[in-house]
Amino acid sequence: MKERSKAWVMRTYSGHSSATASNELYRNNLAKGQTGLSIAFDLPTQTGYDPDDPNAEGEVGKVGVPVAHLGHMRQLFADIPLDEMNTSMTINATAAWLWGLYLALAEEEGVNFNALQGTTQNDIVKEYLSRGTYIFAPEPSKRLIADMIAYGIHHVPKWNPINVCSYHLQEAGATPAQEIAYALATAIDVLDAVRDSGKVEAALMPEVVGRISFFVNAGVRFIEEVAKMRTFTAMWDEICRTRYGVDDPSLRRFRYGVQVNSLGLTEQQPENNVQRIVLEMLGVTLSADARARAVQLPAWNEALGLPRPWDQQWSLRVQQVLAYESDLLEYPDIFAGSRVMEAIVHELTVAAQSELDDVLARGGAFNAIDELKSRLVESQSARVERIESGEQTVVGVNRFTETAPSPLTGGDSLEAIMTVDPAIEQQLVADVTSWRRDRDNDAVHIALAELRRVVASGDVADNVMVPTIALAKAGGTTGEWASALRDVFGEYRAPTGVRGGVGSRGAHFVQLVARSQALREKRGTPPKLLVAKPGLDGHSNGAEQIAVAARDAGFEVIYQGIRLSPEEIVSAARDEDVDVVGISILSGSHLALVPRVIEGLRAAGVDAKVVVGGIVPDDDARELKAQGVAAIYTPKDYSLAAIMDDLLDLIEASS
């Protein structure tokens, strides 16, 4: 038997409902052979709100686990030894706080910080560009990241304080060259900030560079993905060597984890997602010299809703079959010396370097958010247009659409998705109320005062992690930590990136423009669409594409970005006198938020039609329509032209 290379860390991205329920899920997954944890937090936790905050209504426990205080962290890791676990936390704006809770728990359990291994995602640039769970502006956010890195290099040396995420850039439409360039630009900005902060000695900078990790995406074009990872590896090595003077090759290694592409998962014929996931995994495992150090796979049914434990097990078994049954790990890099691969890598390197040079010339990634966001919206628009025109094939969507009934999604015996009990939210509200009542509130107030002082301080001796850990130990909450920082830093609204259309969309859009023009001539105003994203859901790619397509179809479009309250949406609809309010929600909070918008519109005397887009199960769709929603669109409704047709039908019928 040939000697085999060590397999990558195997994870599933998971968390739901409550810390206790998520702990049971994690322990079950570990028992099935999972070798690391990847924690998904709910949106209130990610955006700095406690479960009883009005902004959290309808969102608690929906897309991840709620963690409001140290008690929840204890529940989350009960019977899971922290010093034996490699823990990845998908957390960004509140990363310092969640890491502080984790470190407070480790200290409470007597675990030496030197033994802790894991990652906090902590890449705020991609939050501005794609994922939307930012709170603070670029400069204060960069300061928080630098403080975490400085604290980690001195006290938690095996931890990766940041995981630069190109994953979400690809989800937002990035080309391979953009994905490489924007991620590397972010890493450069962060390293420069640490170097210039005065909080890390110059002699330790190579160690800092060595703790930078990445989190990438892998699409179904797996040959191109292999080339992308080889390009990433070579370009990062060069940056580390020339820009930061790192001589040790082990510290220049491009260390990355991956989740394969979720953007390409389809609601139609969802069984096809299994082979997509397998092929995408090959893109980050085939090349031994550029192989992922950790892999997590989505579930086949994520386009339908929240996967069940069985679905996550299936994804884990895919990894295990490749790692332990195939001969993949028995050979060195199978692409070494390949002229074809070398040519693809060369072409990609030239394109990515040109894009990177442009970003750096604009002052770096943190300084170029507006421009980068607009480029991603344009790239995504071009991708959507290729699918809609048939230029880019998606099996089961725009080609080979005939299908037999699926036993995976049909019948009453097997529910296709997992649901979250609505009672969970009220249980968490009661929990956090009880927590605040029973703690030492004087100690919390003292800790909060020190936190505010350090956050406002420019002294290099002050690091936000110190009072953050103290607040966690005193019994502070997620909302209190974030509120203290909001008091000092304020809040930020990122650009929408919606500045222009695709340009040419074909004959169908010519007809749409003609219909819009006819409406303008008939009544004196163009059709008007308000694209609205209520709640804490920051995934705005779909909303942005609707806004761009509507402009190309002749609509006047009002799009004010993410995280609007129902009251703000109603005010905009009234003030702009819109014909249609299009509500986009991907967090599963549609039943809580859409009725509030409808009630508000009625109370304000606004007679605009309401349509909804998101992952909406059939039962929920029927309930929403009963409350007055005119149309509902889910991921299967990929044709933007057809959606625009529907909207014009609604407007013409009432004009």
Active-site positions?
A: 13, 167-168, 533, 537, 539
d(CA 561, CA 538): 9
| CB 113 within 8 Å of CB 155 | yes
| Residue 76 amino acid letter | L
| CB 65 within 8 Å of CB 87 | no
d(CA 361, CA 352): 14
For the chain, what's the residue count? 655
Taking CA atoms, 627 is separated from 248, 429, 632, in Å, by 63, 27, 12
The secondary element (H helix, E strand) that includes residue 74 is: helix 70-76
Pairing verdict, β 9-11 and 294-296: parallel
d(CA 184, CA 164): 8
Q: Dig out the tokens for 216 from the structure.
A: 């990438």
d(CA 210, CA 302): 34
Tokens 């820009």, located at residue: 243
Q: How deeply is 344 buried, as exposed, middle or buried, from its count of CB atoms within 10 A (0-12, 13-18, 19+)?
A: buried
Under 8 Å CB-to-CB from 105, ≥6 apart: which residues? 70, 73, 74, 77, 82
Q: Dig out the tokens for 425 from the structure.
A: 């939210």
Terminal Cα distance for the chain, rounded: 75
d(CA 482, CA 485): 5
Phi, psi dihedral angles at 421 (to 5 degrees): -60, 125
Q: What is the DSSP string of 175-189?
A: -HHHHHHHHHHHHHH
d(CA 556, CA 138): 31
Tokens 């650009």, located at residue: 495
Spell out where 469-593 has E strands: 528-532, 556-559, 580-585
d(CA 631, CA 247): 60
Q: How deeply is 462 buried, as exposed, middle or buried, from its count of CB atoms within 10 A (0-12, 13-18, 19+)?
A: middle
d(CA 603, CA 574): 11
Rounded to 10°, the helix 138-155/478-489 angle is: 130
- Which of 26, 9, 8 has the alpha carbon at shortest distance from 17? 26
**C-alpha 492, offset from chain centre:** 18
| CB 17 within 8 Å of CB 65 | yes
Taking CA atoms, 587 is separated from 262, 537, 544, 567, in Å, by 15, 6, 16, 19
Q: Dig out the tokens for 530 from the structure.
A: 């308000």
Tokens 């909060």, located at residue: 448
Taking CA atoms, 271 is separated from 68, 267, 413, 604, in Å, by 37, 9, 18, 45
**C-alpha 231, offset from chain centre:** 24
Instruction: Dihedral sign for Cα 140, 143, 145, 148, please.
Output: negative
- Angle value at C-alpha 549, between 546 and 554, nearest 5 degrees: 120
